Amino acid sequence: MRIGIHSGPVLSGVIGKIRKRFCLVGHTVNCASRMESGGIPGRIQVSSSTHALLQHCTEFQWESRGPIEVKGLGTMTPYLLVALDNQAVDILFPQDGITDALL
């Protein structure tokens, strides 16, 4: 499992005439999707905008992945959550050898 988070504005609403669905769309949704798909299994990856919003939260400890190319978005600098309340994240998200799953 990978978790990717990006913060920003979204458009939301019900789409469709026959099968109505509530959807979120926009750049923010695309960035969050790229943070997840480009992340590391068992880790939480956030964009620099989410990282900036969480800087005052001292219980989170982050590690920069450095600049990386993100498909369709250019260069971004994502951050990995490495500790929460001084507890290593790999303890919170143990790795059991499974890197991909079919649901």
Residue in 17, 20, 21, 71 annotated catalytic:
71
Any catalytic annotation for residue 34? yes
If residue 92 lies in a helix (H) or strand (E), which one and from where to where?
helix 89-92
Catalytic residue, chosen from 2, 19, 34, 65, is 34
- State the burial class of residue 73 (Cβ atoms within 10 Å of its Cβ: 0-12, 13-18, 19+): middle
43 is catalytic: no
The residues annotated as belonging to the active site are: 34, 71
